[in-house]
Structure 1
Amino acid sequence: MYAARPSSPDRITSLHNPRIKDVLRLQEKSAERRRQGLTLVEGYRELTNARQAGWAVATLFVCAELAGDELNQELLAPAQLVPRSYEFLPVSAAVFAKLAVRERSDGVLAVLRTPQYTLASLSLPPNPLVLVLEAVEKPGNLGAILRTADAAPAHAVLVGDPRTDLYNPNVIRASLGGIFTVPTVAAPMAEVLAFLKEKGIRTFAAALADGAKAYTDASFTGPTALVLGTEADGLTPATRAACDETVIIPMRGVLDSLNVSVAAAVLTFEAVRQRG
């Protein structure tokens, strides 16, 4: 485990350092992230969002050459001046290049402890707007939907039967930190639907279906859950049947569907518009 290893005051310059190998395993293996309850975030802005949302930092890697003067003053201050509750490891530019996945990185990468959110722990307002994703599999799509959920805003994102790790570093990167600002819960789809029904939240299935109502004709002014499926298969028949209404985004061109993250944005902002 990460926290069991002692902190080193020396700058890491070797790609073979065990701490660097630890990070690479977290980047590449969802099973390792789940086992340790850890994930990665790259970038000072995203790290700030995570800390403001209460996520705990286990280890912070900083490359002084990339961080710039202002960040260096804040991040590289002696520990006796800026007490740290996490392990701090400076690294060389060559080592950080191995860790970084972004272009023009600012030299900041953190190992975070992932919170264990559940449906039971989710706190919603009296008139919630919730996004529900069934069997989402592409980290980029999930990340983009989280950005929409933050921007609109929606009050939560519920992921039923996920096919991707919620804390995949690519999800975090694509969300620009939205994973930290929007309550996000993964659970079996049947449990998600039962939770929404129990809370009196009306469910709207987004689907290409005969008899579906144009999304602009639906009323999203009350407690609302917008339910979307994968681009390849859409929603499962069982989920569609369990939803209260089916809505469609009319397509005026040759193609018959939108990217799921774009569809989510269209529906979410329409719901927010209706709510005034």
Structure 2
Amino acid sequence: MTKKIESPQNSFIKSIVQLQEKSKNRRQSGTFLIEGLREIELATKGNYQINTILYQADIISLDQLKPYLNQSTELIEISKEVYQKLAYRDTTEGVLAIARTKELSLSDLKLSDNPVILVAEATEKPGNIGAILRTADAANIDAVIIANPRTDLYNPNVIRSSVGCVFTNQIAMASTEEAIAFLKQKNIAIYCATLQDSTSYHTRDYTSATAFVVGTEATGLTQTWREASTKNIIIPMSGEIDSMNVSVAAAILLFEAKRQRDFK
């Protein structure tokens, strides 16, 4: 029998709001909220465990949810008022889900024989992380490593801005030192996007195992990365400023690697 919750003041609904708003609650419970049918579909394909599905029956039918249900999934019908309290967007098909987080460790990454990896150091803004993950998905790279993370990957703003690409990429969280040790142990060349001691990005060969490392727009990469770099690279710019959005820089580098490999 499907459970039904009609009041936005319900204690369970209040706990979901806390799950949305506080990384501490997500960390302690090991769960996070997914909004939208497309995102739930991508999470399921990404082998995320869906614990609970909440749906608004006036917007979405049970038949549409059947592919994402199993014997352990709790199904809860919610009222329009509850849905409006929980949903950030008006276009998420009347459905939300509570899912289990993943460990996101380097040891869980499964790489190809000739990988391309993107490392983002200390990226803080959820919108930038989401855009980076969309770029990584578009380029179909092996993995994204977030070094010295400053934002919870399961922040609703990251999931929303990534349009579900949180679930389509292999992602690991690690310290800078751990990420460098991992790349070196795998014999993956490290190309750091930085202004110091750099050559133009298009002059390098990325047809063998490659990791691109990008930093924040405000401070760039730490000295630790610059010292560990196989080669520092720069994207030449002709305007008045000497930086661009980190996701744009990542896209230029990743698609240069893709271009070289496609025409090798």
Q: 1:85 aligns with which of 66, 72, 80?
A: 72
Q: 1:27 to 1:275 in 2, by over 3 A?
A: same
Question: For 2:179 and 2:153, how far apart are their aligned partners in 1?
Answer: 16
Identity %, equivalent residues: 47
1:259 aligns with 2:245: yes
Q: 2:64 aligns with which of 74, 87, 91?
A: 74
Q: Which residue of the partner structure matches residue 217 of structure 2? A: 231
Q: 1:242 aligns with which of 228, 238, 248?
A: 228
Deviation at 1:255, TM superposition (A): 2.2
Q: Which residue of the partner structure matches residue 20 of structure 1? A: 13
CA RMSD between the two structures: 1.6
Question: Secondary structure at the residue paired with 1:140?
Answer: helix
Q: Which residue of the partner structure matches residue 49 of structure 1? A: 42
Which ranges of structure 1 fall in alignment gaps of 5 or more residues?
A: 1-7
Q: 2:132 aligns with which of 121, 139, 145?
A: 145
Question: For 1:118 and 1:207, how far apart are their aligned partners in 2?
Answer: 26
Counterpart contact for 1:66–1:105, Cα < 8 Å = no
Deviation at 1:76, TM superposition (A): 7.5
Within-5 A mapping of 1:1-276: 9-67=2-60, 71-75=61-65, 84-209=71-196, 211-276=197-262
Q: 1:249 to 1:103 in 2, by over 3 A?
A: farther
Counterpart contact for 2:37–2:92, Cα < 8 Å = no
- Cα offsets for 1:130-164 (capped at 9, x unmatched): 00011111111111111111111110000111000
- Cα offsets for 1:32-88 (capped at 9, x unmatched): 101111111111011001111111001111012222xxx4433389xxxx7542111
Q: 1:134 to 1:60 in 2, by over 3 A?
A: same
Question: Secondary structure at the residue paired with 1:191?
Answer: helix
Runs of 4+ in 1 over 4 A off after TM superposition: none
Question: For 2:97 and 2:150, how far apart are their aligned partners in 1?
Answer: 25
Q: Which residue of the partner structure matches residue 4 of structure 1? A: none
Q: 1:83 to 1:55 in 2, by over 3 A?
A: closer
Question: For 1:88 and 1:10, how far apart are their aligned partners in 2?
Answer: 7
Question: For 2:70 and 2:110, how far apart are their aligned partners in 1?
Answer: 32
- Cα offsets for 1:198-242 (capped at 9, x unmatched): 000000000123x41111111111100000111111101121111
Query: Which amino acid is the alignment partner of residue 65 of structure 2?
Result: L
Question: Secondary structure at the residue paired with 1:11?
Answer: strand
Deviation at 1:105, TM superposition (A): 2.5
Counterpart contact for 1:66–1:93, Cα < 8 Å = no
Query: Which amino acid is the alignment partner of residue 40 of structure 1?
Result: L
Which ranges of structure 2 fall in alignment gaps of 5 or more residues?
A: none
Counterpart contact for 1:157–1:183, Cα < 8 Å = yes
Deviation at 1:174, TM superposition (A): 1.1
Question: Secondary structure at the residue paired with 2:137?
Answer: helix
Aligned residues between the structures: 261
Q: 1:76 to 1:221 in 2, by over 3 A?
A: closer
Question: Secondary structure at the residue paired with 1:253?
Answer: coil
